[in-house]
Amino acid sequence: MKLSKEAHDVLETSMRQNHVSHKDRAEINAVVEMLPEDRVLLYKNVVSNPLGDIYRYSIHIRIQHMLTFVTFLTLAFTGLPIHFFEAFWAEPFNNLLGGVGITRVIHRTIAVVMIFSMIYHVFTITFGSLARIRAKKFDIRRTIIPLWKDIRDFRADLHYFAGKRTQRPEMDKFNYKQKLHYFAAAFGNGVMVLSGSSFLFPDIWAMILPASIASHWQELMRLSHPHEALLALLVIAFWHWYNVHLAPGRFPMQWTFLTGKITREHQMEEHFLEYLRNLVELPAERKALQDVLESRELVPESLSMTGEPAPGHKGA
Amino acid sequence: MLTIRWVLLLCGWLSVNALAAETAEHLPAQAFQDSEGCLLCHKYPRMARITEDGVLRKYFIQPEVFARTVHRNVPCRDCHTEINELPHKPVKIGVTCNTECHSVKNPATGKPFSHKPIYDAFRESVHGRSKVAEGTDADKPYCVTCHTNPLYNPQEAMPPPKITDRCVLCHEDRTFVNRWYNHTSRRIREVRRTPEQIVALCSTCHDDQRVIERHLAKAKAEGREMGRKYPLAVESYYESFHGKMVKYGFNAAANCLDCHADQVNYYKSVHEIRPSRDPASPVSKERRVNTCKRCHTYADQNYAQLDPHPTSTREGNMFRYFAEKIYNIVGYVVIAALLGLSLFETIGRRRDGVGWRLTHGSSWWRKSKRGRKRII
């Protein structure tokens, strides 16, 4: 496979950062060369362990996801019956928990856990990034920070969905959807904490803010809390669950949130650039890939030992 | 009309004489002492008339019920001062609560007992009106609008025998002891309405659109300015945190009187509520911060700017009105965009979607079928 300039740059950066030896470099280049031009063919034929092949999320991130998962749903299902107190469905919800008084206590308590989860996450990514910078292994393309490439990827993906492209774009460790979702959640959490604290400590907020905006702030926060909550719930229900459960290739679910590992198939399809880095960092993965390519007869004709043309290659 | 009334009264009087002896035997032992003979007529359930306004007014008194009211020891004519003869003439004003009792003395001063001090405070308030009021004043509450004098108070059903058993040793009559206990302990116990009841009480007028419109029209005609939130007082209160909390049954949240009545002498000040533009009002600009501070320890001038009666109408609060509009648009757009994208992805990927996975295996649960042969 002839790598694109972008992919080539990612691979080179990774090899430089990992101080790859000449021998390994040759091995990596050889295995990359063996890849078929058609990446669709590659991920469709690859064998994956359902529980995941390639390490992706640390235990901290998994704990944070679990905390967010539990607190988000608990907060939503305690907050909605408080806000829509008079709705017919709110009463059984509140009664189930022991009355609206108890629902409120649960809501606030879980909110503290959610804030803890946020702080824990900020610490994790800050110190994780600092450690990478210190070890000279930091690559901004590998982080969740949005880049122009994400817009290009989004456009290319739309073209692919519209049938105008044969392959999905070469996306990085976090693709445009994940970045959008991450920052939407981060923004939403921020709004919920600010607005929730405005309800709990209205006098403190009024003291901090200038008199001209103190009242507007309170009103905006009172609007924001339920609106943001509903929006978040709908986004989770319609988008996050779609992307992790219903989207083609993801149905019915993935185990990454528990195992921290992504399947080889998924990594190749949606995070190809990260897969290239995996080839640099994980010698075992090079071997596994080589085995797959050879056993599925996906190696290009020029490199194939059998001499038979491999499908998906130009001139095949 | 007047003649009809006289005929009615006369009939009543005649029947009273005929049945007086019989009825006296049926009166329960605890009935109040009708020393003035009012029950001669007023014991009859049909003692009533229909007023010029078409309202049925009953003049029937049930002695055993009256005997349970707080005024049971007050002879009728101490309050019904207009009645000087039998049969009496139609009354014009009726009972006013500032009348001095002739029979009941204030034990503290020895003077005739009266509600005059609190009545005078009420007359000074924004609600102040005379017993017989006309026009918009008639919409205002009179004493009995709020003081409904309930006959049954569950807290008073059974005075604690541990205490009353002791009293009855010397005071002999348990009925007297129980009443005395309830009378003296009533003010020790908290007998005011719950916050929910207070809001409901105020809402009877302040949430009545006809009353509101009448008062707004009158103020406009007189060139007076009404409070900005006057037309939306109840609606906006329920929009506030205080209103929500009260609705949820939390007594700690502020109800109408917590802010609009002075807390220094609560029981007096609830009778002298003033408009917020009056500097003496606890919610006036001058006093608002201190009122907020009663519950919100760190309240300052900024805090007093927060609107305790938030509305989202364009006229009432343009900022909130547009903020709400923008929020709604953003919400719909985001959800529509994300749903659209998901749908587009699903349709666009028919060629390797769920159907494809079912045919060729998926890497979800176990090793996929893809290990068997190559997919082209």
For residue range A185-201, list pLDDT tens digits in order: 999 999 999 999 999 99
Whether a cis peptide bond, with omega within 30° of 0, leads into A36 is: no
Tokens of A33: 């060369």
Shortest CB distance from B365 goes to which of A50, A246, A249?
A50
Residue among A223, A240, A244 with most chain B CBs within 10 A, to mutate? A223
pLDDT single digits (tens) A22-36? 999 999 999 999 998
Contacts of A296 in chain B (CB under 8 A): 374
pLDDT of residue B22: 40
Residues B332 and B368 in one domain: yes
Which long-range contacts link B74-77 to residues 24+ away (Cβ below 8 Å)?
Answer: B74/B101, B74/B103, B74/B104, B75/B33, B75/B35, B75/B36, B75/B103, B76/B34, B76/B36, B76/B38, B77/B36
Asked if residue B237 belongs to a domain, the reply is: yes
pLDDT single digits (tens) A91-102? 999 999 999 999
DSSP B54: S
Asked if residue B97 belongs to a domain, the reply is: no
Across all residues in chain A, what is the average pLDDT?
91
pLDDT of residue A299: 80
Kind of pairing between the strands at A54-55 and B56-58:
unpaired
CA geometry: angle at B353 spanning A297 and A252, to 5°?
105
Residue among B196, B236, B247, B302 with most chain A CBs within 10 A, to mutate? B302
Phi, psi angle pair for B13, to nearest 5° = -60, -40
pLDDT of residue B21: 39
A55–chain B Cβ distance below 8 A for any pair: no
Phi, psi angle pair for A69, to nearest 5° = -60, -50
Shortest CB distance from A47 goes to which of B352, B353, B367?
B367
- Calculate the dihedral angle through the C-alpha atoms of B154, B159, B161, B167, rounding to the nearest 10 degrees: -170
> A38 to chain B: nearest residue by CA?
B376
Tokens of A133: 């910078």
Residues B329 and B278 in one domain: no
Structural domains in chain B (count): 2
Tokens of A29: 């280049």
Contacts of A218 in chain B (CB under 8 A): 306-307
In this predicted model, which residue has the larger pLDDT, B52 or A16?
Answer: A16
Asked if residue B216 belongs to a domain, the reply is: yes
Half-sphere exposure of residue B154, counting CA atoms within 13 Å on the CB side? 0
Shortest CB distance from B300 goes to which of A207, A218, A298?
A207
pLDDT of residue A222: 92
A288–chain B Cβ distance below 8 A for any pair: no
pLDDT single digits (tens) A268-291? 999 999 999 999 999 999 999 998
Asked if residue B295 belongs to a domain, the reply is: yes
CB-based contact B303 A207, cutoff 8 Å: yes
pLDDT of residue B186: 78
Q: Which residues pair with B105 in a beta bridge?
A: B112
> B296 to chain A: nearest residue by CA?
A203
Residues B329 and B304 in one domain: no
pLDDT confidence bin for A180, thresholds 50/70/90:
very high
Interface ipTM: 0.86
On whether the CB atoms of residues B76 and B42 are closer than 8 A, the answer is no
CB-based contact B319 A219, cutoff 8 Å: yes
Residues B336 and B250 in one domain: no
pLDDT above 70: percentage of residues in chain A: 95
- SS3 state of residue A262: strand
Residues B364 and B285 in one domain: no
**Inter-chain Cβ pairs, chain A and chain B, closer than 8 A:** 150
Question: Domain ends where: B272, B289, B311?
Answer: B311
Identify the segments of chain B with pLDDT beneath 50.
1-2, 14-29
Asked if residue B120 belongs to a domain, the reply is: no
pLDDT of residue B5: 59
Whether a cis peptide bond, with omega within 30° of 0, leads into A252 is: yes
Tokens of A82: 């408080």
Tokens of B293: 């501070």
pLDDT of residue B374: 62
CA geometry: angle at A304 spanning A301 and A306, to 5°?
105
Residues B213 and B307 in one domain: yes
Contacts of B294 in chain A (CB under 8 A): none
pLDDT of residue A312: 47
Look at residue A205 and tell me whether its pLDDT is greater than 50.
yes
pLDDT of residue B31: 53
| CA A192 vs CA A62, A171, A173, A187: distances in Å | 22, 31, 28, 9
Residue type, B87: P
Mean pLDDT, rounded, for A58-70 = 96
Instruction: Identify the domain containing residue B218 by its residue range.
Output: 206-311
Asked if residue B73 belongs to a domain, the reply is: no
Work out the minimum CA distance from B277 to partner chain A, whole angstroms.
Answer: 20
Look at residue A6 and tell me whether its pLDDT is greater than 80.
yes
Question: Domain ends where: B293, B311, B329?
Answer: B311
Look at residue A16 and tell me whether its pLDDT is greater than 90.
yes
Residues B307 and B210 in one domain: yes
CB-based contact A247 B346, cutoff 8 Å: yes
A101–chain B Cβ distance below 8 A for any pair: yes
Asked if residue B294 belongs to a domain, the reply is: yes
pLDDT of residue B20: 43
pLDDT of residue A69: 95
CB-based contact A44 B375, cutoff 8 Å: yes
> Which stretch of DSSP H or E encloses residue B114?
strand B112-114
Contacts of A101 in chain B (CB under 8 A): 248-250
Residues B249 and B294 in one domain: yes
Question: Domain ends where: B311, B329, B356?
Answer: B311
Mean pLDDT, rounded, for A120-128 = 97
On whether the CB atoms of residues A261 and A56 are closer than 8 A, the answer is yes
